[in-house]
Amino acid sequence: MSEVPLIRLADVTKVYYLESGDFVALDHVSLDIMENEFVAIMGPSGSGKSTMMNQLGILDVPTSGELFINGKNVAVMTTLERTHMRRDIIGYIFQKFYLIPLLSAYENVEYPLILKYKHRDTSGKAAAVLKSVGFDDTLSAHRPSQLSGGQQQRVAIARALVNDPKILLCDEPTGNLDRKTGFQILDVLTGLHKEGKTVILVTHDPKIAEYAHRTIQLEDGKVVAS
Amino acid sequence: MKDIFFDLSVRSVKLNFLRSLLASIGIVIGVVAISSMGMLGTNMQLSVKQQLSSNVNTIMISSDVVRTTTTAGTPVTSQGIDKSTLNDIRNAAGQNDVIPIHRTSTQFTIGSTNGRGSIIGLDPNDITKFLTIDQGTNIKGGSDALVGPNIASNFNMNIGSRIKIGQDNVSITRPTVRVSGILTTRGFTSDGVNTDNAIIVPDTWYTDHYGDKDLYGQVNVILKNIDTINQTEAAIDDKVNRKTDVVRISDASSRLSSISSTLGTITTFILAIGSISLVVAAVSIFNVMMMSVNERVQEIGILLSIGTEKGEVRRMFLYEAFILGIIGAVVGGICSLVIGYSVVSAMIGNTAYFFLPESIVYVPYGMFIGIVVCILSGLYPAWRASNMDPIEALRAE
């Protein structure tokens, strides 16, 4: 393993201030994730999995403690820097796919390239990535609503990959799919890990966690096993 | 280079076609209101100015009504302009035409129909200096008369018709004049001589029947050169009003400017009424944009979470407002030309000025305001969309 971790949580606490009282979602969590790891984050609902995902995905910042991603302290970054980091370093794969409904499969995949380079893709990269997840030109022209769940998740994976991110952040990626399709998607993720991606998989299903090489167990906002 | 955010906006507009259409119709109405009201006002101003400026070169002199009296309690009366004052005016006016005018109003009878109108006494030689005869000839004989076009058509007068002048009273034989000619329409004049409903008689005939010899109600000075208006007025003022104010001197140019400024105020007023419809349109655009934002919360969450900059999300919604504005403005611009033309021709009856730059400019002007109103209405919804918390937004259903 390389010496500098890709992700480092140092004593990270996340508190939600609610009217019913403060809710500690992450309680002094310290954790390192190295480059090219395949990590599963497990735990029952309410254990802090989603909060952890939001932290790792730089969608949120810790209440206290420090979070370093790719060597940078997230807390001291501007909103725009965080936005750019999400765009360039992280690929998101969600349970509900979260494709942009107004765009075709191809345009969904092309979208992050446009965000990064500010112009339409002329390199053929979007088409190439779509092809690698089994999409041809005809299928690529469809809107998300015209695709099956498995197909939508493949498009979502292609979108996550197109900017060549270091980290793939997968939040219950098989949660909305049947078993067979789910395992196909996991096979795709395994392949991507082999190609050198750091894959972080949030799940409550131990069978799915088995695909990972390391499992981080969360309970009541604390890491109980890693 | 095609902007994907523009594409997204276009698709959103298409997806909610009916809603977007209705919002745009609001803008169409606003643009039409502003453009056609503006054009109506401008055409009104231009056509009134045109009518007024045809006799803008005339100085009107009338007796000063307020005269100082030496004895307390003596009524203050207007006496008219007497012969010596007229001579002073002639001297001060130099080369310019000086036209003394007698005037009163009278009852008259043509055939068996009674009517009422102005009767104006003029030196026949002065008539052609500022009046145009449409049919017939100028006054030749001592009991010839010219009539205005309105009076002529209302009473079916022809050349040779005879008019009995004065109160219809069986015990008195009334004097009769013979129509020798009919004048052209003057419309609203600014030299104080409204002839459309008048009977013009020779000054000798007038003084024979009404008295007032060498005493005139009004004296007009028609300038050969409009630029000398101020110095001529000053010369008359110096000469005639040396000790006390004997006459009042006015001219059409000051009246023209005061009428123009009144018309300008009216134009502004009707424009303001037109703008109310744009305010209503702004509210509807705002509403549609808020609906668009609220319906697409999750989509906004996706865009933000996968690395879309706030500014880009803002741009997407501003484009949407802009598209609604463009549709409304273009359709509104076309409708403005049609409706504006109809309104101007119906209300002013003269479309000669419609395509002049100062009139037609209201179309692009209205369109521009329509688009600006749309973008302004889209500002808050766009700001709201771009400042959403991506986590919260993703969770929305």
CB A135 within 8 A of CB A154: yes
Give the gap in angstroms from C-alpha B300 to the nearest C-alpha of chain A.
9
* Closest residue in chain A to residue B312, using alpha carbons only: A115
Q: Report pLDDT for B54.
A: 65
Which tens digits make up the pLDDT trace of B294-333? Answer: 999 999 999 999 999 999 999 999 999 999 999 999 999 9
Give the gap in angstroms from C-alpha B313 to the nearest C-alpha of chain A.
11
Which among A60, A84, A99 has the least Cβ separation from residue B307? A84
Give the gap in angstroms from C-alpha A2 to the nearest C-alpha of chain B.
28
pTM of the model: 0.71
Q: Report pLDDT for B53.
A: 66
Q: Report pLDDT for B73.
A: 54
- Pick from A222, A219, A209: which is nearest to A39 by CA? A209
Give the gap in angstroms from C-alpha A92 to the nearest C-alpha of chain B.
7
Which among B2, B12, B308 has the least Cβ separation from residue A115? B308
3-state secondary structure of A135: coil
Distance from C-alpha of B183 to C-alpha of B218, rounded to nearest angstrom:
20
Residues of chain B in contact with residue A51, where contact means CB-CB under 8 angstroms, are none
Q: Pairing relation of β-strands A21-33 and A167-171?
A: unpaired
3-state secondary structure of A223: strand
If interface means Cβ-Cβ distance under 8 Å, which residues of chain B face chain A? 1-2, 4, 7-8, 11-12, 15, 298-299, 301-310, 312, 390-391, 394
Inter-chain touch A120–B308, beta carbons under 8 Å: no
Return mean pLDDT, chain B: 87
Question: Long-range contacts of range B292-297, CB-CB < 8 Å, 24 or more positions apart?
Answer: B292/B12, B292/B16, B292/B317, B292/B320, B292/B381, B293/B317, B293/B381, B293/B382, B293/B384, B293/B385, B296/B12, B296/B385, B297/B388, B297/B393, B297/B396
pLDDT tens sequence for chain A (226 residues): 457 899 999 999 999 999 998 999 999 999 999 999 999 999 988 899 989 999 999 999 999 999 999 999 998 999 999 999 999 999 999 999 999 999 999 999 999 999 999 888 899 999 999 999 889 989 999 999 999 999 999 999 999 999 999 999 999 999 888 989 899 999 999 999 999 999 999 998 888 899 999 999 999 999 988 7
Q: Report pLDDT for B352.
A: 86
Q: Report pLDDT for B258.
A: 80
Q: Which candidate in A26, A92, A102, A162 is best for mutational testing of the B interface (most B CBs within 10 A)?
A: A102
The pair of three-digit structure tokens given for residue A90, joined into one six-digit string? 């992280």
- Pick from A167, A172, A217, A211: which is nearest to A31 by CA? A217
CB contacts < 8 A (A, B): 65
User: Rounded to whole angstroms, what are the CA distances from B322 to A150, B23, B329?
Assistant: 37, 12, 10
The pair of three-digit structure tokens given for residue A104, joined into one six-digit string? 């075709």
Q: Which residues of chain B have pLDDT under 50?
A: 1, 66-69, 76
Give the gap in angstroms from C-alpha A210 to the nearest C-alpha of chain B.
27
Q: Which candidate in A111, A161, A164, A171 is best for mutational testing of the B interface (most B CBs within 10 A)?
A: A111
Please give the DSSP secondary-structure letter assigned to residue A139.
H
Which among B12, B299, B306 has the least Cβ separation from residue A112? B306
**Secondary structure string (H, E, C) spanning chain B:** CCCHHHHHHHHHHHHCHHHHHHHHHHHHHHHHHHHHHHHHHHHHHHHHHHHHHCCCCEEEEEECCCCCCCCCCCCCCCCCEEHHHHHHHHHHHCCCEEEEEEEEEEEEEECCEEEEEEEEEECHHHHHHHCCEEEECCCCCCCEEEECHHHHHHCCCCCCCEEEECCCCCCCCCCEEEEEEEECCCCCCCCCCCCCCEEEEEHHHHHHHHCCCCEECEEEEECCCHHHHHHHHHHHHHHHCCCCCCEEEEEHHHHHHHHHHHHHHHHHHHHHHHHHHHHHHHHHHHHHHHHHHHHCHHHHHHHHHCCCCHHHHHHHHHHHHHHHHHHHHHHHHHHHHHHHHHHHHHHCCCCCCCCCHHHHCHHHHHHHHHHHHHHHHHHHHHHHHHCCCHHHHHHCC
Distance from C-alpha of B70 to C-alpha of B321, rounded to nearest angstrom:
76
Inter-chain touch A86–B4, beta carbons under 8 Å: no
The pair of three-digit structure tokens given for residue A144, joined into one six-digit string? 């998300």
Inter-chain touch B306–A120, beta carbons under 8 Å: no
Q: Report pLDDT for B110.
A: 87
Residues of chain B in contact with residue A165, where contact means CB-CB under 8 angstroms, are none
Q: Which amino acid is at B337?
A: L
Which among A83, A99, A120 has the least Cβ separation from residue B309? A83
Q: Report pLDDT for B1.
A: 46
Residues of chain A in contact with residue B20, where contact means CB-CB under 8 angstroms, are none
Q: Which DSSP helix (H) or strand (E) runs through A122?
A: none
Distance from C-alpha of A38 to C-alpha of A199, rounded to nearest angstrom:
5
